[in-house]
Chain A
Amino acid sequence: DSGVTQTPKHLITATGQRVTLRCSPRSGDLSVYWYQQSLDQGLQFLIQYYNGEERAKGNILERFSAQQFPDLHSELNLSSLELGDSALYFCASSANGVNQETQYFGPGTRLLVL
Chain B
Amino acid sequence: GQQLNQSPQSMFIQEGEDVSMNCTSSSIFNTWLWYKQDPGEGPVLLIALYKAGELTSNGRLTAQFGITRKDSFLNISASIPSDVGIYFCAGQSNFGNEKLTFGTGTRLTIIP
Do these two chains really belong together in a complex?
no
User: Residues of B with Cβ closer than 8 Å to A?
Assistant: none
User: Residues of A with Cβ closer than 8 Å to B?
Assistant: none
